[in-house]
Structure 1
Amino acid sequence: MVDQLGGFGLLAFWAVVMISISYFIYRRQGVNTTSEFITAGGRAQVGLATASFAVTWMWAGDVLGVPQYVGITGVAGIWMYAAPAVLSSLVVIPFALRMRKLFPQGLTYSEYFIKRFDKTAHLVVVFVVLYTMVLGGVIQLFVGGTVIGGLTGIDPNLVMAVLMGVIGVYILLGGLWGSMTTDFIQFISALVLTLVFVPLLVFEVGGPGVVYDQMVQNLGSDAPAFLSLANLDAIEGLFLPYALGLGVWGVVSLATWQRVFAVRRDKTSRFLTIGGIGVFTTIAMYGVIGLVGLATFTDAAPGSLTTEVLGLMPEWAVIAFLLVALMVLGSSVDSYLTAIASLTARDIYYRHLDTDASDDRQLRVARVASVGFAVVMFVATVLLLDSISFTQLLLVGGIGASALVGPFALSLFWRKMSSAGFVTGIVVSQLITAFLLAASYDVVVTGPDFMLWEIMAIGHLVSTGLGAAVSIASPDEFEFESIAQEGSSVATDGGSSDRDGDAA
């Protein structure tokens, strides 16, 4: 444990470092246009984008989520958590390659839906993406309040307020440049966490042999199942909803798409693949925290394993771990906040409220949104902190993907996909999944009680099947070549001399 004074000192140190870096990047990169704020001008180096993508995917939620999975189902919990997370980064690749070919001048991928369909379809996508990004930020902030508050004795709400305030300020300054640059430092921090602190934790309790022997003793008759990769007892409760929701969440995550548009086009597959591999290795290491918890505690709830186990480390190690955790936490929240800022400025304000808005005005809206939605995320997390478990929040967070992935794929590869089919599939799917979720959790309505993976499967089937059926009945004959901006001089690396031309 760390006392409150030490905890506040860590928060202050982290705040100064992150804001200083972002201010330096703001001055150095000249973050004074919407393009620079939203996509880093399309000139981010592949190493920077890869580190940023990887650490965004190594979200702080893993620190709580993986040990909790292990606490529920044992060693198998590692692959149940890791497989969908890696799948999510790999599934994005064909979407990204197709999108970069069709829509090279894009600033946000959601703008593609105006070009492909119409403003109605665009608004539907904006709604899904917006609440998905807010939920992603809430999940990360939830972790910050739980872990940092639990290890320092500081009120979790106060921790979350400080975290959200600092992140809002440095995104206000640097936009995506600030997010990716701080992400690079946070990526190094994540490697330190997995390569230094997890092994330290194992040897602090006696080494791998002691951990194994104590697990066998503590688990008793459950030991064979908990120590087997083939333990499938929790596959319906943990693996399937994660695979059907967060396993394809990267396809609808605007934070992912910002990095897709920011990196060199010919490096897209590479940075997504390397990022996915990096995610798998860190998740496996986080799983060790859960194994140590099973070996050390006989009565700790799975949800509290992380804080209980980390409290076993020496004070200096806990302090260092908290600093690293702050870095990892910031990497995810700042990505979602940047994504929401771009969505607000380009997709809501410019596309629907003021189509003649100047670039300066769009930039101001993006910066105001970064602060405004920081407040929204904070308030939402405070309301949820004591009313829902982390695993429930994590799994429900992928519900938006079940409505959008199938229709999005059809829109990219099938020219007959119509606006009516796209909108109908998404809207009906979201209404059905919302009703089934509410009924299953006894919120406001009553109805059939489905498992979460079944609700997500229904969402996928309805959105894709209904979208295709309506499009067959009333098809488009869309010419994909018409999407790319005429005369665009988009280069191999994604840069363009008329990057903002589509705003004219």
Structure 2
Amino acid sequence: MTSSGIGYRLLGAWAVAMIGLSYLIFRRQHVDDTREFVTAGGRAQVGLTTASFAVTWMWAGDILGVPEYVGITGVAGIWMYAAPAVLSSLIVVPFALRMRRLFPQGLTYSEYFIERFDKRAHVAVIFVILYTMVLGGVIQLYVGGTVIGGLTGIDPNVVMAILMGTIGIYILLGGLWGSMTTDLVQFVSAIVLTVVFVPLLLFEAGGPSGVYNGMIENLGENAEPFLTASNLDWIEDLFLPYALGLGVWGVVSLSTWQRIFAVRRDKTSRFLTAGGIGVFTTIAMYGVIGLVGLAAFPDVAPGDLSIEALELLPGWATVLFLVIALMVLGSSVDSYLTAIASLTSRDIYYRHLATEASDDQQLRVARIASIGFAIVIFGATVFALDTLGFIQLLLIGGIGATALVGPFALSLFWKGTSSAGFIAGVVGSQLVTGYLLAASYDVVVTAPTLKLWEIMAVGHLVATALAVVISAAAPDEFEFDSIAREPGTGAATDADSAARTDGGPPVGSNGGERE
């Protein structure tokens, strides 16, 4: 553990650096309109977007989550954590390609649901996205307080306040440009963390052979299952809920969709695939932290393995690790806060409260939201830190995806999907899963107690089944190419421009639908 004085100086230096960088980007990229704030003007380079996407998915939570998975189930915990995380970045590819064809002029993917259905459907989607993004921010900030506080002795609430305040300010300045540019610095930091500090930690613990022998000695009769990747004892408690929730979370994550709309359309699948590969490699390296913890600390609870193991680093390395960890911790939180600010401005304010609002007014609301929701996320994290374990919070975080993925897919590929069916699927699923989740925590006692993965499976089934059945009874006859091109309104000109800008062909180049 390093001193609190060093911790405060590091937090201060990080805050000045990130705010200063965001201010430079604010001036350089002219972040003075809503499109620049929300989608970086649709002109972000694929390298920048890929790095931003990858580091956003290299969740700060991995620093705690992967070692805890390993502490519970051994080597198998690495693939139980990694497989759903990688799946989440890859499963979004067909959704993204289809959306970019249908809605190239979009600023937020949530606005698609107004064009595809109506404002009622849009409100249902806003609700799911909003609490999902807030919960994602809480998960990441939780890690910031735990890791930085644990390694410096600073009160975790103080750490979280500094982190959230800094992030709120630099998002207020630069919007998505600020988020992605700081993410690039944070991406390089994440790579350094995995290729330098994890091997260093392994060396400090006695090297591979020393860690292996330590695990054999400490685990005793549990050594054999813990040292094989085929230990399936915890598959229902760890793997399945993660796969059914966070494994499809990328499809509903507004922070992911902001980056999809920010990059050239012909680069979409490339940057998503590259990001997924990067996520897998970092998770595998973080698993080493858990293995070191099992070898060195026989009596430590799985949730504490990460902090205990990292304290094996020499003093100078701990300081450098904290610098890099601050970068990684900021990358995910700023992405969710940017998404929430965009959602508040475009989807709530402009689409429902002030449909005649000027661009300046929308931008002002986005910037106010970046500070307002920074406070909300901080308050929710303080509550979570005192009431929930990290893995518990992490797995529950995927519950929102169960309501939206099925109906969203139907809306993109089946023209018969109706507004009534879509709304019934999303709202019905959320009500059912919310009730079952409350029952599992003994909040209500009149429902069957199901495992978390079963609750998530029920959520997916209810959402998709309701959308299909109600839509089949009274199908829509939606024309997909009408979203980007509305004859007689001039919308086609705007869509043509957007399609060309993002690297795609103009509207109508292939019978009316974009390639």
TM-score, normalised with respect to structure 1: 0.98
Given that residues 265 and 492 in structure 1 are in contact (C-alpha distance below 8 angstroms), is that contact kept between their aligned partners in structure 2? Answer: no
* Secondary structure of the corresponding residue to residue 385 of structure 1: helix
What CA distance in whole angstroms lies between the structure 2 residues aligned with 1:421 and 1:195? 49
Q: Could you say which residue in structure 1 is the equivalent of 2:275?
A: 275
What CA distance in whole angstroms lies between the structure 2 residues aligned with 1:243 and 1:490? 35
Q: Does 1:486 align with 2:481?
A: no
Q: Could you say which residue in structure 1 is the equivalent of 2:79?
A: 79
Shift in Å at residue 166 of structure 1? Answer: 0.2
Q: Could you say which residue in structure 2 is the equivalent of 1:113?
A: 113
Q: Could you say which residue in structure 1 is the equivalent of 2:300?
A: 300
Shift in Å at residue 445 of structure 1? Answer: 5.0
What CA distance in whole angstroms lies between the structure 1 residues aligned with 2:464 and 2:55? 31
Q: Could you say which residue in structure 2 is the equivalent of 1:434?
A: 434
What CA distance in whole angstroms lies between the structure 2 residues aligned with 1:136 and 1:495? 31
Q: Could you say which residue in structure 2 is the equivalent of 1:21?
A: 21
Residues 67-97 of structure 1, C-alpha deviations (whole Å, 9 max, x = no match): 0000000000000000000000000000000
What CA distance in whole angstroms lies between the structure 2 residues aligned with 1:493 and 1:460? 36
What CA distance in whole angstroms lies between the structure 2 residues aligned with 1:470 and 1:491? 34
Q: Could you say which residue in structure 1 is the equivalent of 2:510?
A: none
What CA distance in whole angstroms lies between the structure 2 residues aligned with 1:210 and 1:37? 50
Given that residues 266 and 503 in structure 2 are in contact (C-alpha distance below 8 angstroms), is that contact kept between their aligned partners in structure 1? Answer: no
Shift in Å at residue 209 of structure 1? Answer: 0.6
Shift in Å at residue 399 of structure 1? Answer: 0.2
* Secondary structure of the corresponding residue to residue 231 of structure 1: coil
What CA distance in whole angstroms lies between the structure 2 residues aligned with 1:409 and 1:205? 48
Residues 466-503 of structure 1, C-alpha deviations (whole Å, 9 max, x = no match): 1100000011010001001422212444289xxxxxxx
What CA distance in whole angstroms lies between the structure 2 residues aligned with 1:287 and 1:475? 48
Q: Could you say which residue in structure 2 is the equivalent of 1:402?
A: 402
What CA distance in whole angstroms lies between the structure 2 residues aligned with 1:318 and 1:448? 47
Residues 113-139 of structure 1, C-alpha deviations (whole Å, 9 max, x = no match): 000000000000000000000000000
Q: How does 1:72-221 map to 2 (within 5 A)?
A: 72-221=72-221
Given that residues 67 and 290 in structure 1 are in contact (C-alpha distance below 8 angstroms), is that contact kept between their aligned partners in structure 2? Answer: yes
Q: How does 1:266-415 map to 2 (within 5 A)?
A: 266-415=266-415
Shift in Å at residue 315 of structure 1? Answer: 1.0
Given that residues 263 and 493 in structure 1 are in contact (C-alpha distance below 8 angstroms), is that contact kept between their aligned partners in structure 2? Answer: no
Given that residues 266 and 492 in structure 1 are in contact (C-alpha distance below 8 angstroms), is that contact kept between their aligned partners in structure 2? Answer: no
What CA distance in whole angstroms lies between the structure 1 residues aligned with 2:324 and 2:303? 21
What CA distance in whole angstroms lies between the structure 2 residues aligned with 1:21 and 1:238? 39
Given that residues 42 and 495 in structure 1 are in contact (C-alpha distance below 8 angstroms), is that contact kept between their aligned partners in structure 2? Answer: no
Q: How does 1:222-301 map to 2 (within 5 A)?
A: 222-301=222-301
What CA distance in whole angstroms lies between the structure 2 residues aligned with 1:167 and 1:189? 17
Residues 101-154 of structure 1, C-alpha deviations (whole Å, 9 max, x = no match): 000000000000000000000000000000000000000000001111011000
Q: How many positions carry a matched residue from both structures?
A: 497
* Secondary structure of the corresponding residue to residue 386 of structure 1: helix
Q: Could you say which residue in structure 2 is the equivalent of 1:423?
A: 423
Shift in Å at residue 210 of structure 1? Answer: 0.5
Residues 373-412 of structure 1, C-alpha deviations (whole Å, 9 max, x = no match): 0000000000110111000000000000000000000000
What CA distance in whole angstroms lies between the structure 2 residues aligned with 1:358 and 1:160? 35
Match of 1:250, as an amino acid? G
What CA distance in whole angstroms lies between the structure 2 residues aligned with 1:460 and 1:306? 33
Deviates more, 1:372-381 or 1:477-486: 477-486
Q: Does 1:32 align with 2:32?
A: yes
Match of 1:494, as an amino acid? D
Alignment gaps of 5+ in structure 2: 485-490, 505-515
Residues 30-54 of structure 1, C-alpha deviations (whole Å, 9 max, x = no match): 0000000000000000000000000
Deviates more, 1:124-133 or 1:477-486: 477-486
Shift in Å at residue 331 of structure 1? Answer: 0.4
What CA distance in whole angstroms lies between the structure 2 residues aligned with 1:228 and 1:443? 38
Given that residues 67 and 288 in structure 1 are in contact (C-alpha distance below 8 angstroms), is that contact kept between their aligned partners in structure 2? Answer: yes
Match of 2:169, as an amino acid? V
Residues 440-469 of structure 1, C-alpha deviations (whole Å, 9 max, x = no match): 011255421100000000000000011100
Match of 1:16, as an amino acid? V
Residues 235-285 of structure 1, C-alpha deviations (whole Å, 9 max, x = no match): 000000000000000000000000000001000000000000000000000
Match of 2:315, as an amino acid? E
TM-score, normalised with respect to structure 2: 0.96
What CA distance in whole angstroms lies between the structure 1 residues aligned with 2:277 and 2:55? 11
Match of 2:287, as an amino acid? G
Deviates more, 1:428-437 or 1:485-494: 485-494
Q: Could you say which residue in structure 1 is the equivalent of 2:507?
A: none
